[in-house]
Chains A and B, each alone.
Chain A
Amino acid sequence: MTSEQIRQVIIDILERIAPDEDLTNLDDSVAFREQMELDSMDFLDIVMELRKQYRVQIPEEDYGNLVTMDSTVSYLEPRLKDVESAV
């Protein structure tokens, strides 16, 4: 997947776990938490959805990489480079 595809995967996951959020003006360099109502249960869901859809395992000590869209995409890029996008 390209970084653009990975970004779309994350957007799709966010839409699924927070259907009432408007994501059109999401700032990729600002923490998700500052822009949306996300708690620790929601972060668990981002991790679990990635695992469910793309079989990517994210150990708990790496959760810190999922703060912003930019950091999430760069963390996932090497892990998803050989994976076909489903979106």
Chain B
Amino acid sequence: MKYDTIIIGAGLSGLAAGIRLAYYDQNVLILEKHTTIGGLNSFYRLRGRNYDVGLHAITNYAAPGTRTGPLAKLLKQLRLRWEDFNLTPQKGSAVVFPEHRLQFTNDFQVLQQEIAEQFPDQIDGFNKLTFEIEQFDDTNLNQPYRSAREIVQRYITNSTLEDMLFCPLMFYGSPTPHDMDFCQFVIMFKSIFLQGFARPAEGIRLILKNLVRKFKSLGGELKLRGGVAEILQKDGKAYGVRLEDGTEFECDVLLSSAGSLETYRLTQAEELTRPEPEPGALSFIESIYALDKMPTDLGIDETIIFYNNAPRFNYAPCEEPADLSSGIICSPNNFEYDNPELVKEGAVLRATVIANPAYWMNLSEEAYRAAKEEWFPRILDKVSEKVAPFREHIVDTDMFTPKTIWRFTGHANGAVYGAPVKHRDGQTHLDNLYLCGTDQGFLGIIGSMLSGISIANLYVLSRM
């Protein structure tokens, strides 16, 4: 069987790419290794409750009718309506450090005001930094690497404020420790501080469901349990795939959202002939606490809290199984929903901390269970220091580790934001094989869909 385009991975980027191509009458097949769609952003049901895999908030919020920006661009490109995502803005979030607490909402002036009050000698620099960020063209696929720390330090001379700005941006998108590529920093700054957080009451499943419905209505084919064993190639050109069950499919173009290293390995089924791309190393442990009361009824009003207890914020893989010095606490209930009862996850808090991937990946089944038993309460203790008491109201829990992420997505180390080196132009060592998704380098939910769209436009549609 031959397709115009085959896409590896039915996550947000693969589905978005698939919609673009199927809309223009391409014969498209999306192959998903797992039994369900979504990749790094999927959803599941456990003991009668619905959960999103990792969704805290969707960044890049724009109000209905907004004509510019990533969300507007995305909806136009996919011919979707604003209601298809049903995004509800956040209530308000905070970056909490030992001596300072900066609140921010989707109104950028709130953050400016907070900085002006708490760091009065830094506000001019912050406004100049914001201006540089607004002028920067982050959609250009050929921006060279520049250290975000170096650029930010030109404007912000207080290291606490510097860390407080980096903290949410790194936690929500940095594949690299300590520092970020300035382009990635700009993408994250715009998407979190300038545009802001939102979420559909139904969670990620609403977006995934609408993407799949659109893709199938355009004639696209989706194959679950369709893990790729090998990318077929001849004379430096990819021409198809062989699945784990032995089936072969041919295609003119192959798009892969599997990751740069993971895709590379699929092209080298027998022996490795060149150095492998470096895998990502940043992964997380997420604890989920289902509650018998809404967080606001317990006095927890923030949408998301990014906290750090250390003298400097240390965003890096840790030696310990988990890094308890910093983390994220999110309540999916704390968005401006018309009816909070519609939140599919129910009353819930989610807590995220940096994890040591090698530790979790290498444990035996039994030791793994024991390690979860040990770390779950330790993380809960830390989280409890940051918000009003909620422990008595926990009615069910779940926890995932780098190993869980690896098992469900195939991403090496369970790396949530992919490899440290991004391939913004999507090119690989083979012709007709292009990367989309996390390792192409657009970030977040909206970014990952734009990644699929951009690569489909660039290498398929504009060449038709």
Contact = CB atoms under 8 A, between A and B. Distances in A.
A43 B221 CA distance: 27
B44 interface: no
B67 A21 contact: yes
Nearest to B450: A41
Interface stretch (A12-20, A66-74, A77-85): A12-20
B391 interface: no
Contacts of A41: 73, 76-77, 453-454, 457
B457 A44 contact: yes
B462 A42 contact: no
B131 interface: no
Given A20-B65, A37-B67, A52 B24 contact: yes
A61 interface: no
B35 interface: no
A31 interface: no
A28 to B, nearest CB: 21
A41 B70 CA distance: 12
With a 10 A CB-CB cut-off, give which of B25, B67, B72, B81 has the most chain A CB atoms: B67
A37 B76 CA distance: 11
A22 to B, nearest CB: 10
B116 interface: no
Interface residues of A, number: 16
A34 interface: no
B87 to A, nearest CB: 15
B68 interface: yes
A56 to B, nearest CB: 13
A33 interface: no
A19 B461 CA distance: 21
A39 interface: yes
Given A44-B462, A51-B464, A52-B25, A20 B77 contact: no
A44 B461 contact: yes
Contacts of A37: 67-68, 72
Interface residues of B, number: 17
B67 A60 contact: no
A48 interface: yes
Interface string A4-37: 0000000000001111110000000000000001
A41 B451 CA distance: 13
Interface in B70-90: 72-73, 76-77, 79, 81
Contacts of A51: 24, 464
Contacts of A48: 24, 461, 464
B34 to A, nearest CB: 30
Interface in B434-457: 453-454, 457
A16 B79 contact: yes
A39 B457 CA distance: 13
Contacts of A60: 462
Contacts of B457: 41, 44
A8 B81 CA distance: 23
Contacts of B72: 20, 37
A41 B464 CA distance: 15
A51 B462 CA distance: 12
B67 A39 contact: no
A44 B73 CA distance: 13
A18 B76 contact: yes
A60 to B, nearest CB: 7
Interface string A45-76: 10010011000000010000000000000000
Contacts of A16: 79
Contacts of B461: 44, 48
Interface string B323-335: 0000000000000
Contacts of B462: 44, 60
B350 to A, nearest CB: 34
Nearest to A36: B67
Contacts of B25: 52
Interface in B386-440: none
With a 10 A CB-CB cut-off, give which of B76, B81, B454, B457 has the most chain A CB atoms: B76
A78 B296 CA distance: 65
Contacts of A45: 76-77
A72 B68 CA distance: 24
A17 B65 CA distance: 14
Contacts of A19: 76, 81
> A-B pairs with the 3 shortest C-beta distances?
A37-B67, A48-B24, A20-B67
Interface of B: 24-25, 65, 67-68, 72-73, 76-77, 79, 81, 453-454, 457, 461-462, 464
10 contacts: A18-B76, A20-B65, A37-B68, A41-B73, A41-B453, A44-B457, A44-B461, A48-B461, A51-B24, A52-B25
Given A37-B67, A52-B25, 6 more contacts: A17-B76, A21-B67, A41-B453, A48-B461, A48-B464, A51-B464
